[in-house]
Structure 1
Amino acid sequence: MNRKILDLAIPNIISNITVPLLGLVDMALMGHLGSAIYIGAISLGGVIFNFLYWMFAFLRMGTSGFTAQATGRKDRNESELILGRSFVLALFFGVLLIILQVPIEWISFRILGGSEEVKQLASQYFFIRIWAAPATIGLYSLTGWFIGMQNARIPMTVAIIINIANIIFSVFFVFVLGMKSAGVALGTVLSQYMGLLLSLWFIHKKFGSPFSHLSRKQILDVKALRIFMQVNRDIFIRTLCIIGVFTFFTSKSAGMNDTILAVNSLLLQFLMFFSFFMDGFAYAGEALAGKYFGAGSKSKLKKVSQLLFLWGISLGIVFSLIYFFAGNQIVAFLTDQTSIRDAARPFIWWTALIPVTGFAAFIWDGIYIGATASTGMRNSMLAATFFLFIPTFLLFQHSLGNNALWLAMILFLFGRGLFQTFLAQRAIFSRMA
């Protein structure tokens, strides 16, 4: 079973690892333009799009879980119907975001802090990148379906091509055309549509034309859509909590000063890098847990869960050691500005706690998604957000300053995994015969 885990995890790790690398490249591009405002601009812009897109992450997660269960039951027709429903919803939501871009921008920058210079650049970034919405959300749907079909290599190929193209476009627009933060946004738009078209081509080549024999009545079946959305409602709430935590974190950072905003934005890349790496195993958990849950094999589900946790704790220890001993060197790579490097130094040690305290949450997320145990995911996230993250910051913000933000984040990560562990038996295993 370890072989099955690695066959799914390794391609997902390779594809996921290109995402934080892209974030690192964007930060490095902005970090070498001579001012912290450029880092702050794409950080604020990134927060807005994280909020917008993460709201629709349920399309990837729900699609993955339902498709994996259909695969476990060997029901190919149902898996294709899930793809059709998910993709139609993705395109609808993407177009809706473009239509609502002006009020979204207005509300976003009334909520977020930052200097006027930073917000002006971030606004320019926003109005360019928003045009990628249909492609980005559409890719969530297609990626979830590939994972549910136990195919991790196609998403890996697409992700690599997207991110290489994005880096090439961004470097060209920023340094050749002098577009600065706007160039990073335009590079993202072009690469996302390239990835969407490539994914559709892979579906046609590998799986035929699943859309061709599906009627509109089948895809838009009200009862089926209601079931799909009921499960995804809980995932949506869970995702809103994550968005809220990271938005709160960035907003409070911006409220301190531009330097702290830049520092925390850089240090969050440590968390993002680890999370995308761990998601490789979480995605493997989605595919295999969903397959065994759909097939009704409790023994195999328990076995794969145990093996995933062994991988999780091992990787958590490795990453914590890397961050502890090489944290300063990583920050130095991200920016050549001495003032930001110096300001980051007192807070780097927090990054070494991220992997060992957060690995369980990522592994459980994959297992819960595969079993479509959305209620347990939602309740765990609500508890970690409102009983740990927010109270910790409010209690220590005046005495600890920026350290209070990082303490709250570490407790949030640890709490998620802890609560999911307590709920797992009832949420997942007791639902199986």
Structure 2
Amino acid sequence: MTQAPTSARSALRHHDREIIALALPAFGALVAEPLFVMVDSAVVGHLGTAQLAGLGVAAALLATAVNIFVFLAYATTAAVARRVGAGDLAGAIRQGMDGIWLALLLGAAVIAVALPTAPALVDLFGSSHTAAPHAITYLRISTLGIPAMLVVLAATGVLRGLQDTRTPLYVAIGGFGANAALNATLVYGAGLGIAGSAWGTVIAQNAMAAVYLVVVIRGARRHGTSLRPDAAGIRACAHAGAPLLIRTLSLRAVMLIATAVAARLGDTDIAAHQIVLTLWSLLAFALDAIAIAGQAIIGRYLGAGDEEGARIACRRMVHWGIASGVALGLLVVVSRPLFIPLFTTDTAVRDALLPALLVTALIQPVSGVVFVLDGVLMGAGDGPYLARAMIVTLVVFAPVALLVPSLGGGLTALWCTMALMMSVRMATLWLRTRSGRWIVTGAVRS
């Protein structure tokens, strides 16, 4: 009578261990990434206000150029995990190599566009005449590191698909350390100024890419996989990534609209909005770690033809997402007296910040479900649906958010529209997972 419940509990513990083993290192790697910009800002900030302002503009442009290609990690993770589940390790590595070749091609294309247009791009941001030269210098040099950054994305996807999130963590930590040392040495020791910061970051990024390539190439040789570019495979990677690119652009549009609306509300509200958005991004790292585990686990189960295993893993990760969201929401509420003074001493900003912060805390459980289901559907290779769902979310969110200033709403009202956005995302993702149409087994999603 007790055997079945015991077996069920054992299965749940197995899923829990698997999720934790993948999610914790993934979280560490995710947190290490923004530290690159923090180090650059800390080092460049001592050069002067104009240099720091230039870095801010260039960093925003670079982040946009790289983040829109995050599908290189997501699509590669899902495709490689399917091959792993099917027992085709050679095919998994080959799939990963196709993603890396695509990353190199896209990186070369970005360089070709960004180098000659750097002054125009900086001018588009409305940089002052004192900050613009520094922004152009940093942007042009850092652009040379974009192919390496995209290779890191693709190679990270390969290792995640192979169920390895520890190596990306180690590489991220090593890259962060190298970046910090190089920045200090080149900016001050060599006297290169902001150019030294850019070169330090480029060198660190290329070193990270080189480590990843060594790991992947060793795997390829071990399994007798060709390293040569395969046109058909590269096209397949691009085709699989296109819907995720649309999803990412739609999500980016949501964030830009929210910031634009906050700016129209006044300086106090935009300052408070930036603080809430920073916290939102930090919380997203924790939830995204579970989503990354979902991509790898679901892809592997579906590749192995285990539909029931995929369903059980999905349900368990949803539980993890809800629990993590509740915990993070409570953490925000309890710790707010500690971290709010770190951001501002302005009473007006604090007054605008607090209710918006509470809205953010309340929607964390919803965010937990959204991130998990997003990862599950990515792991299933259900990119076209994710693109459509995000477009629907944007269509619902945009008019409501844009009405906030005209209706006399403030920052809290704006963040209520963000809560609406997350609720719409949860509804669209829940309906899809509920339907079971995402469950397509096999080494390749047909």
Coarse TM-score class (shorter-chain normalised):
0.7 to 0.9
Write the distance in 2 (CA, Å) between the matches of 1:150 and 1:419.
Answer: 28
Asked if residue 350 in structure 1 is aligned to residue 360 in structure 2, the reply is: no
State the AA in 2 paired with 1:285: G
Instruction: Name the residue aligned to 2:79.
Output: 66
More deviation, 281-290/193-202: 193-202
Number of the residue aligned with 1:214: 226
Cα distance per residue 1:257-307 (max 9 Å; x no partner)? 777666544432212211122221111101110001111211111111111
Question: Per the alignment, do residues 226 and 13 of structure 1 end up closer, same or farther by CA in structure 2, a change over 3 Å counting?
Answer: same
Q: Distance in 1 between matches of 2:272 and 2:128?
A: 15
User: 1:53: which partner in 2?
Assistant: 66
Match of 1:392 in 2: 400
Matches within 5 A, 1:67-106: 67-102=80-115, 104-105=117-118
1:331 to partner: Cα distance: 4.5
Question: Are residues 300 and 47 of structure 1, via their aligned partners in 2, closer, same or farther at CA, if it must alter by over 3 Å?
Answer: same
Report the equivalent of 1:410. Answer: 419
Instruction: Tell whether the 8 Å contact from 1:44 to 1:250 is kept in structure 2 after alignment.
Output: no
Q: Is the 8 A contact 1:271 1:351 kept in 2?
A: no
Letter in 2 for 1:68: A
Superposition deviation, residue 199 in structure 1: 1.4
Instruction: Give the CA deviation at 1:211.
Output: 9.7
The answer on whether the counterparts of 1:113 and 1:251 sit within 8 Å (CA) in structure 2 is: no
Q: Report how many aligned residue pairs link the two structures.
A: 424
Deviation at 1:71, TM superposition (A): 0.4
Q: Greater CA deviation, 88-97 or 12-21? A: 12-21
Q: Is the 8 A contact 1:373 1:428 kept in 2?
A: no
Q: How does 1:334-373 map to 2 (within 5 A)?
A: 338=345, 343=349, 346-352=352-358, 353=360, 355-373=364-382
Counting aligned pairs with the same residue, the percent is 24
Q: Which residue of 1 aligns with 2:388?
A: 379
* Contact 1:282 1:366 (8 Å CA) reproduced: yes
Instruction: Provide the alpha-carbon RMSD of the alignment.
Output: 3.4
2:17 is aligned with 1:8: no
> TM-score by structure 1 length?
0.85
Q: Aligned to 2:179, which of 139, 143, 166?
A: 166
For residues 272 and 157 of structure 1, the distance between their equivalents in structure 2, rounded to whole angstroms, comes to: 22
242 and 39 in structure 1: CA distance in 2 versus 1, 3 angstrom threshold: farther
Residue 24 and residue 417 in structure 1: after superposition, are their counterparts in 2 closer, same or farther (change >3 A)? farther
> Is residue 93–residue 216 contact of structure 2 (8 Å, CA) maintained in 1?
no
Structure 1 partner of 2:8: none
Q: What is the Cα deviation at residue 238 of structure 1?
A: 0.6
What secondary structure, in the 3-state scheme, does the structure 2 residue paired with 1:145 have?
A: helix
Which deviates the most, 398-407 or 417-426? 398-407
Say which of 306, 310, 318 aligns to 1:309: 318
Partner of 1:195: 208
Q: CA deviation at 1:373?
A: 0.5
Asked whether the 8 Å contact 1:86–1:141 carries over to 2, the reply is yes
Q: Is the 8 A contact 2:93 2:225 kept in 1?
A: no
Q: Secondary structure at the match of 2:69?
A: coil
Q: How does 1:124-203 map to 2 (within 5 A)?
A: 124-170=137-183, 185-203=198-216
Structure 2 counterpart of 1:214, which letter?
A: S
- Answer yes or no: is 1:18 the counterpart of 2:32: yes
CA-to-partner distance for each residue in 1:139-172, whole Å, 9 max, x for gaps?
0110000000111111111111112333444456
- 1:287 aligns with 296
Deviations 1:58-96 (A, max 9, x none): 111111100000001111221122122111111111122
Residues 47 and 247 in structure 1, CA contact (< 8 A), matched pair in contact too: no
Of 360-369 and 187-196, more deviation after overlay is shown by: 187-196
Aligned AA for 1:365? Answer: D
Question: In structure 1, what is the equivalent of residue 3 of structure 2?
Answer: none
What amino acid does structure 1 have at the position aligned with 2:18? Answer: K
Q: In the alignment, is the contact (CA less than 8 A) between 1:40 and 1:261 conserved in 2?
A: no
Larger Rg computed on CA atoms: 2
Find the partner of 2:276 among 263, 267, 271.
267
Contact 2:352 2:411 in 1 (8 A): no
CA distance in 2, matches of 1:28, 1:311: 35
